[in-house]
Chains A and B, each alone.
Chain A
Amino acid sequence: MIEIKDLVYEYMTDEQENKVAALDGVSLKIEDGEFVCIVGHNGSGKSTLAKHLNGLLQPTSGDVLIDNMNTKDESKLLDIRQKIGIVFQNPDNQIVTTVVEEDVAFGPENIGIESGEIRRRVDESLKLVGMEKYAKNAPHMLSGGQKQRIAIAGMLAIEPDILVLDEATAMLDPIGRKEVLNIVSELNKKKHMTVIMITQYMEEAVHASRLIVMCKGKVMMDGETREIFKHGAQLRELSLDVPDIVALRDELILNGVKISNNAITETELAEELCR
């Protein structure tokens, strides 16, 4: 379980040494096995929050606890980092070797897993992301979506309980984006991995069961995705948009078409309309 208590993170802007709070009193609890999406526009603090989860950044005040281990406790950092894997935006910055399977093995090797077990984990991870055929390939010959899947496989080989995707689909094309989303949805369903997806794309949020909306370092909304999307006006005030399908649904209701305000995907809306 992740517990964040009154988290504040301030940094100096270089000119007048004014302090800016990138995170301004964030408190959250995320249970094991949840699929959470965190949205907010640039500068909302969502990526800063992600970097606190494994101690890459340390709070100015407040606490971040992962299974009751505080990220401030340096002796626990290695344990924490084996529990949480973070995949970042640019796959090219996360690939370190010249052969796919060696790259996936890099993590478990570094935490001292014995070689037979590494072999097993590498094979399994590559299979989970559907890249087993590319084990001997060179990463730079792969597409962006494939590289990002390799980065995810590298995380899975550490066998984390929690997978964090920090705008991991932003540089991918629509197909690559779908590939990554499908894989993390599967991991969440089948392996009960906790998934925290940080994104600017509201369309991606429909995959998560819980949606957290951030603005100016604060949590503005937190709840079931479907419920949050019923508050279009509030989202627009935070200069975020509801997905196009939800916007259309609301317009239809305003125009007197008798449908419920539950549908958030095109399939669901089509079904409502056929009733």
Chain B
Amino acid sequence: MSPFILATLLFALGLGTMITFASSHWLLAWMGLEINTLAILPLMAQHHHPRAIEATTKYFIAQATAAAMLLFASATNAWLTGQWDIQLMTHPLPVTLITLALALKMGLAPMHSWLPEVIQGVDFTTGLVLSTWQKLAPFVLLLQLQPTNSTLLLALGTASTLVGGWGGLNQTQLRKILAYSSIAHLGWMTIVLQFSPSLALLTLIVYFTMTFSAFLMFKLNNSTNLNSLAISWTKAPVATALAPLVLLSLGGLPPLTGFMSKWLILQELTKQDLMPLATLLALSALLSLYFYLRLAYSLTLTVSPNTLIGTTPWRHPTSHLTLLLSTSTVATVFLLPITPAIVTLFSLLGT
């Protein structure tokens, strides 16, 4: 792809999200989402092979349907209440429809089935954009809608965490596992969205950091399924030693950054007197933890049969740019001790 076209598409990708952030009118927000979708489609289909085209088609249909439903709900809102503002929606029907449309756009649980297939079809860089940057615009719209129908959000969030755990159990493809982990993390955010929006934002940013290092780590090893993880120590021994920590941070184990968001969300749910839900969420995190542990196991504790020459690729200089990976890995592993500072920062942002 020509660098000029690539720059234009990346600019449009950022522009769409920014328009959605800045808008207070539903039509403008919809336009931002459409620009965003139209800009990512050529990026996904740039390698012209069947899986990429299929993933692009599936992504297009899901996103176009969600955008049309969003605009339909806003038009209904305009006909019922006579206004187009994003905040202060009063009628429950358009609010519910918009929540469902945004859930389809992000890939929350009952509407999630396109997400693993789409991420499996594209390469790691595009998959990273899909599972981080593309979540921002719908998430911010959902954040602006609050407070709204609480039962619907709780149901969507609980279903997402459970489905994200169950679905990833049987997978051997890394990109599908990362997609299911994305579904589960989005579920956690959706649950806490109505109780503490700043905490939901914190969870989103922490998730972005963790998934950034996970995607870049797998990209560095150039491994797309569970089997090829076993030889990744021959390519990058230090990164392989750190990779289990990144994965366990995604799973949310205590001394790592990923524990911060889960801890705070469970505390918030306990404060809201939702003990059964908090228990269910903590148990569903165990499901996710199982497949992260399996990834960590095949990364570090298995040695595949190999020739002597096959064990030395790490001696050769590589052309990979590892500055981003090392920065985000440090953030993924070591940020738990400064939790109070981060919480204060985000609560200042939220007001």
A, B from the same assembly? no
B interface, CB within 8 angstroms of A: none
A interface, CB within 8 angstroms of B: none
